[in-house]
Amino acid sequence: MRIDLLRPVWHPLTWLAFIALPFIGPHLPLYFGWESGPFELFQAFILFIGGCVSFYIVFRPKPDISLSLANAVPKALLLAITFIWWFMCLRELSWGAVFLPPLGFDPIEGYKFSAREQLSYYTAIHIVCGILAFFSFLAVIRCRYYLLAYWKVRRFPLPEVILAIIMQLFATTAEGHLLPLSSLWLPMGVPPQIVEEWCELLSYLSLLVGQIIFLFNRR
């Protein structure tokens, strides 16, 4: 089966899961949407897997050198993608703060964690991430001809990226932004934190599907 058959399956499933939210969301326990709750931990798992997939490709046997630019994926670009995945994973986990005793508890918002207040290595996080982000940026610039080739043959997973952005926008409405859409969920009785984490989960899954299509389906 061709990998790109994932696309016509995944997109309808994503929208079905989104449409189901007003029916399922009111019945889910509040803690599903808490920081370090089930949804957020599953998000971190998806982001970690996304990085593992791209990192695995780095160490695969070298492809046939006769491959065109559109079918080859340079290691520098794969490492940059891996950094982005694992950066988002660690950010979802507050850089490890969620594994420490919480600073407080709210019956609606759940446990409170703060990387700034709880982690002695908080300053080092910014330094290390800044350095890695700089080298990732250089890698993307270096691989710009590959990116152009992907775009020309429509290998770039644009549909999944657009779907992920749409889900992130809906997650943002749950945080009280993008007025008047922020009040969209109140009449449905869905807790905002459930909406936010549900939509972010669908967003990250869409990016993972897009990466799988991109890496394992040649044009």
Q: What is the per-residue pLDDT for 149?
A: 87
| Cα separation, 198 vs 170, whole angstroms | 10
For CA atoms 141, 145, 148, 153, the dihedral sign is negative
Q: What is the per-residue pLDDT for 161?
A: 95
Domain regions of the chain by residue span: 3-216
pTM of the model: 0.89
Counting as low any pLDDT under 70, the low residues of the chain are: 1-2, 4, 61-71, 176-187, 218-219
Q: What is the per-residue pLDDT for 69?
A: 61
Q: What is the per-residue pLDDT for 3?
A: 75
Q: What is the per-residue pLDDT for 64?
A: 47
Q: What is the per-residue pLDDT for 61?
A: 65
* DSSP for 177-193, written as a single string: -STTGGGSSGGGT--HH
